[in-house]
Structure 1
């Protein structure tokens, strides 16, 4: 018999006692036996409920920081089916049905390995432009590596995340952390041999691939994503190399300002802020903007190694550094593991290593010169997420420019073995004025799908910049989480429920909130109402009860104050000239010699439209200029966040 883990021997004994009292009541049917049974049953129910609550609180506290484990515990509470169900009994690859597990893993490995080469082979390169950087400029300086020190290795290992996924040797990062003090000397020696000879260790080139189901039919290979786990020691050596590469990239200013992916001090929110500023500025000028959202199919997998190495040489990565990267990319192999079944190893001939630290950096260098293909279009990139837009007064001319420039881009994609997925590429016309519904965009015979909303960098963007679709999406996500909180609130303490708020609600509520959060109050008010509903659940309060005191007790800021804080943090960076150039240009600081205590720090620009007034370049400036001097004097963003939060919580306390 399966016994619930919170039922102790004492509670089980009490359950038997309760059952005996019930039998006595049924047998004698007296008032005394009925009262004795009911009192005992109610007391036991209360004890079991408390035991269950203590059990789950302890398990959830132990799982803090491990989201997968947290979800498993929650699923056991609400009795929902796990999202990670077992693999099916058979798979299909095209018309082929596979039942034998050994055959499945080998076919699956072959399927994953051949995705990149198959796509690259389908692209015709009509010229010998492949490998040449657009613009033709070469970096004169060369990258220098130097030696690897034991302190560098120790620092990299200690800063690595405590992941428990094991590599092909059965090693996880926790094991590396526990043993690094004993092996740091020989490992550093190996790293230096690798760097000095320009050779990446062969034993570190094997990846273990775990197929993860995405969606759709569980039997089809197409519906599985390969998750690669590389050698743990390989990651340490890669991180050391990436540090040197990043320093060289920044020193030589190699990357386009339009690239926001995998770069320090850049993020999805900053990319979206630039896009929002550009689109709203065009609307302010009564212009149209056509945005093209390009989908590249398996972009990381189709990269041609010879083209990449040629570009790296032109970027100044020559000599030993170039040899090391060439060795790093070649003779790599992988095997697939499905439960306990392991496939044969196969060589990987295309793409950058999945799951690697270095792979994303190599990709953004590979795609970097796309921004030089056109002098007419503007680009916003986040790794392979590509947005191209063009503004003007005449929509017909904009479309003509798009067609002309996209023909050049299509050729660049073909030359660089990147597969442009026309079926998933969308275009949108932005502007307040009525646009012709018959406007179409056709590039080299491909009719691009016109939409009124598109998901870009995790945010739903609509053609009127109202953010209604994105807010609706967030409401759905939060409502689902509220349902979970309602089911588990009886078993969990307030502190544990609050942890769940920060795990499952707060990320949706605040992701890129500085971009979309300052829209019309009528659009965002439902989110604030949901936030208040969550606070009442956390504190088991009456549905109509005022929530100010609960915001204070939980130390949680209200929605609008979360928006303002995120916007003010951007303004803090703008004031200290810490924003990317493409964003910093939207903010004009008043020269210091013109300043006085009464004068603002940022110049405020008069704008016509409400849409532009809600942008960070206008609203953020007003917010900062009206800020307390005490907050403006904060030396760091962490200090600013703490002081601002304290001020907001005090203001709620005063109201309540």
Structure 2
């Protein structure tokens, strides 16, 4: 192979994988093909930081046929044994500064870097897992799903607002926030249901059985520590596992409440863990919230009462007293959902003003850093303009109603 570092790491990983104890041949169906591995490698993005094995995406993308064959063999060893090298379960946590005082730890966000060969293996499993689970996930979930995005949920909520305003019908809403949803998913509830065969669940579980991480700051490393709860950050499997988990909660909380839009009853909208519960009255919304809270508790999650809020769309102010156990949720007159501001009056003028202000701020920044730079070509400037300024100005424009 052309890349000695990768060859050495692969040989070590092969040796470790062969030494792992596992249940033997799991009868997991077809082995992983070279085409599956090559397709995942092809979609790796260059310029990304490596994991603990220091194998960069460029190394894998530069592999020839022989190199891909070795990588496929390694994936098949993990597939057959139901065990993976420890490197694939080890995350490198790197702090990224957000804003504020650099001496305050809470002003940093930790990101986890995983092994790239391990992510290729996870990517193959994700495709097989998604083929089984995707058709079963409910329509109200649009997060981490191909062909869907934030605009789908924003447009649906906007149309509900328009219909309610047209027929003078109130809409009671609860914007639900879950405490540390992604990082605290109980893993026990993930290994079953949804028609996923046991062998595939086992190999997915193998990525978590000895999961650990260590911190890496300015060249210094901490001791490793076990990670026993939550989904792995940066793992290709985590998004589909998470929406499967949220789908379980949503199904368990279904009732007869909701709002009608034509012949369609809409009880909730989900984008990953961003949840909106909808009802035609405060009593119905409370019942829906009670069921959702109970489903969250059964799944090992809790609603954050300090961040969850209620709002009523109506031509006059209407009280909506919602409780989660003894805690009363605050009622607001406006809420920013998926980056778009919705108000209790159902008007979009404030959101349009926000878009204009955001685009103006972007333009001021671009003028100093891009527009006046003579070393940048006109083509590059236009590309930056379209990708940043136009995006900031027109995000959510599908919701804007023309009045003239």
1:374 is the counterpart of 2:254: yes
Match of 1:246 among 130, 140, 144: 130
CA drift at 1:387: 0.9
Match of 1:261 among 143, 153, 173: 143
CA drift at 1:180: 5.2
2:6 corresponds in structure 1 to: none
User: 1-side partners of 2:108 and 2:320: how far apart?
Assistant: 37
1:179-198 mapped onto 2 (5 Å cutoff): 179=63, 181-198=65-82
Match of 1:346 among 218, 225, 248: 225
CA drift at 1:300: 0.8
2:390 corresponds in structure 1 to: 506
1:299 is the counterpart of 2:178: no
SS at match of 2:145: coil
CA drift at 1:258: 0.8
Residues 80-124 of structure 1 show CA distances to partners (whole Å, capped at 9, x for unaligned) of: xxxxxxxxxxxxxxxxxxxxxxxxxxxxxxxxxxxxxxxxxxxxx
User: 2-side partners of 1:270 and 1:439: how far apart?
Assistant: 27
Q: Where do 5+ consecutive residues of structure 1 fail to align?
A: 1-142, 392-397, 522-656
SS at match of 1:381: strand
User: 2-side partners of 1:216 and 1:424: how far apart?
Assistant: 22
CA drift at 1:341: 1.4
User: 2-side partners of 1:217 and 1:424: how far apart?
Assistant: 24
1:220-619 mapped onto 2 (5 Å cutoff): 220-250=104-134, 253-309=135-191, 313-372=192-251, 373-375=253-255, 376-377=257-258, 378-391=267-280, 398-431=281-314, 433-436=315-318, 438-487=319-368, 488-492=370-374, 493-516=377-400, 518-520=401-403
CA drift at 1:318: 2.9
CA drift at 1:504: 2.0
Structure 1 residue runs of 4+, over 4 Å off?
A: none
SS at match of 2:92: strand
1:638 corresponds in structure 2 to: none
Asked if structure 2 preserves the Cα contact closer than 8 Å seen for 1:198 and 1:321, the reply is no
SS at match of 1:277: helix
User: 2-side partners of 1:520 and 1:174: how far apart?
Assistant: 52
Asked if structure 2 preserves the Cα contact closer than 8 Å seen for 1:300 and 1:363, the reply is yes
SS at match of 2:136: coil
SS at match of 1:424: coil
CA drift at 1:156: 1.6
Alpha carbons of structure 1 residues 316 and 490: separation in structure 2 relative to 1, 3 Å:
closer
SS at match of 1:380: strand
User: 2-side partners of 1:306 and 1:225: how far apart?
Assistant: 27
User: 2-side partners of 1:255 and 1:369: how far apart?
Assistant: 9
User: 2-side partners of 1:324 and 1:257: how far apart?
Assistant: 28
Asked if structure 1 preserves the Cα contact closer than 8 Å seen for 2:250 and 2:292, the reply is no
Asked if structure 1 preserves the Cα contact closer than 8 Å seen for 2:133 and 2:195, the reply is no
Match of 2:95 among 201, 205, 211: 211
User: 2-side partners of 1:144 and 1:452: how far apart?
Assistant: 53
CA drift at 1:159: 2.1
Residues 250-290 of structure 1 show CA distances to partners (whole Å, capped at 9, x for unaligned) of: 4xx31111110111121111111112222322232321101
Alpha carbons of structure 1 residues 388 and 164: separation in structure 2 relative to 1, 3 Å:
same
CA drift at 1:477: 2.1
CA drift at 1:175: 1.9
SS at match of 1:334: strand
CA drift at 1:513: 2.1
Alpha carbons of structure 1 residues 216 and 403: separation in structure 2 relative to 1, 3 Å:
farther
User: 1-side partners of 2:402 and 2:178: how far apart?
Assistant: 31
Alpha carbons of structure 1 residues 519 and 202: separation in structure 2 relative to 1, 3 Å:
farther
User: 1-side partners of 2:28 and 2:329: how far apart?
Assistant: 45
User: 1-side partners of 2:402 and 2:126: how far apart?
Assistant: 39
Aligned length: 365
Asked if structure 1 preserves the Cα contact closer than 8 Å seen for 2:93 and 2:214, the reply is yes
Residues 327-371 of structure 1 show CA distances to partners (whole Å, capped at 9, x for unaligned) of: 122211111111211111111000010111101110111111233
1:155 is the counterpart of 2:39: yes
2:15 corresponds in structure 1 to: none
User: 2-side partners of 1:164 and 1:314: how far apart?
Assistant: 34
CA drift at 1:508: 1.2
TM-score, normalization: structure 1?
A: 0.53
Asked if structure 1 preserves the Cα contact closer than 8 Å seen for 2:173 and 2:312, the reply is yes
> Which has a greater percent of helix?
1
Residues 134-191 of structure 1 show CA distances to partners (whole Å, capped at 9, x for unaligned) of: xxxxxxxxx9652211122122211222233122122221122123544211211111
Residues 287-309 of structure 1 show CA distances to partners (whole Å, capped at 9, x for unaligned) of: 11011111112101111111221
CA drift at 1:382: 0.8
CA drift at 1:233: 0.8
User: 1-side partners of 2:402 and 2:341: how far apart?
Assistant: 14
1:65-80 mapped onto 2 (5 Å cutoff): none
User: 1-side partners of 2:284 and 2:371: how far apart?
Assistant: 57
